[in-house]
Every structure is written in C-alpha cells, then in structure tokens.
C-alpha cells in the first residue's frame, strides 16, 4: 500500500489527531510542528509563541480508500477556518488554520476545496496555504493524546464534542470500531 501525506493545522493538534484516527483510509496520524526551524520545534517553545510553528498533524492516507478532497472536507468540518489564529479558547498563531502541501497537484486540489468551502461560510476563510518545508514530530506524550488521556478535562470538554460531530457527519467514512 502506498500512502500519501498532508500536513494540517486547525487548532490544538490533539483534536485533529483524534479526529483523523477515526477515518477509514487514514494509515497514520502524527502530531507535530511546522512553519519554523527545528530548534524551535518543541511544545513549550511553540506554546510560548517564541516561534512561528503551528501545531499540526501529518495525516498519511491511502488514496485508494480516501481522497485528498475527502480529507479536506473532514478538515473543514472539524474546525473553523474563518477565525484567524484561534479555535475556540485556543488562541494564538500556533493554533492557526493552515495546510502545508507537498506539490502543485495538491495545491490545485486545496485551492478548489477552499473555493468550495468558502460558499458555506459567511466570513472569509483565512486558512493559510504553504508548501511544506519541514515537519517535526511532537513529543511522545502528544501522540494519540485523546486515546491516552480520555478523562482529561480538555478531552471531555473540547475533543469529545468534535468527535461526536465528526461521527454524525462522516459516518460512512469511519473505521469499524
């Protein structure tokens, strides 16, 4: 099986990680950082805003099962792409809506997807689109955070409602549990 990657940021990486892990055709999800140098790619440096990194997830998917367009449809549904540097109570440039692409074919699909999703929102989509320079995996404690910390307050109050919405809207795209 040959998978394809895309790197997405839309708020806290824990939310995106938990969401994409549920999707059929997603081979792996890795929480991490993109947008700055390796020397600033750690949780505390990013959270202190001493860096230009965004919290992101690298989603490896099987294009025979799910397309990039479908991955993006899910991405738009699980965050608000119209709020600049903010998702709910998570505020700052590290929580920006951003797509890091690998090649011009992906860029074309991304731009078409943005044009389509803009029709659904009354406010402008502010998602940044950048060619990926580097992806730095987050520390082990941030990988699969929701599954490893289901009783943590952030998981209960923030992630669970997003997963409920995802399960309802994309039931046909979910892995069998």
Which residues are part of the catalytic machinery? 12
From residue 95, give the alpha-carbon distance in Å to each of 59, 82, 98, 116, 139: 17, 12, 9, 23, 17
- HEC string of 61-93 equals ECCCCCCHHHHHHHHHHCCCCCCCCEECCEECH
CA 144 to chain centre: 13
């Amino acid at each position: 099986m040959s998978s394809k990657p895309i790197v997405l940021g839309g708020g806290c990486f824990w939310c995106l990680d938990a969401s994409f892990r549920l999707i059929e055709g997603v081979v792996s999800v890795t929480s991490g950082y993109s947008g700055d140098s390796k020397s600033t790619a750690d949780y505390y440096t990013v959270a202190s805003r001493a860096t230009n990194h965004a919290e992101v997830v690298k989603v490896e998917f099987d294009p025979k099962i799910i397309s990039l367009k479908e991955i993006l449809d899910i991405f738009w549904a699980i965050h608000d792409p119209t709020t600049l540097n903010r998702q709910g109570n998570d505020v700052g440039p590290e929580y920006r809506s951003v797509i890091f692409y690998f090649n011009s074919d992906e860029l074309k699909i991304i731009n078409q997807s943005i044009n389509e999703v803009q029709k659904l929102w009354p406010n402008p989509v502010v998602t940044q689109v950048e060619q990926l320079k580097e992806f730095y995996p987050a520390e082990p404690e941030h990988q699969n955070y929701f599954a490893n910390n289901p009783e943590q307050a952030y998981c209960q109050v923030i992630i669970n409602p997003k997963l409920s919405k995802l399960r309802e809207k994309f039931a046909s795209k979910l892995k069998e549990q």
